[in-house]
Amino acid sequence: MSVSMNFFLLNLLAFFFHQIFELSDILYQQCRKDFGSKRNLWDHIRILIITIIFPDWETFLSYLLKPPGIHADSVLNT
């Protein structure tokens, strides 16, 4: 099998996973809603993957939705 065929199959596999996440993963759907465009979401995903190691996908998406730090509620209550 050629390298180009392997590359094609990996891209096809990635596409199928994205479609499955779009349809069935509630955390992924919430992230898509909160970040607006796919480009904005994937920019944030790229940054987090480079800087932090997460044990699993659910922890990663939960962190993406509610990162630790200063939140508006804590600023308003002070």
Total residues found in the chain within this entry: 78
Which whole number is the average pLDDT over 26-53? Answer: 89
CB 40 within 8 A of CB 52: no
Instruction: Provide the mean pLDDT of the chain.
Output: 84
Give the up-direction half-sphere exposure of residue 23: CA atoms within 13 A in the CB hemisphere.
6
Q: What's the CA angle centered on 7, arms 14 and 42, to 5 degrees? A: 35
d(CA 63, CA 51): 13
3-class secondary-structure state, position 48? helix
pLDDT tens, residue by residue, 9-38 = 999 999 998 898 889 989 888 988 999 888
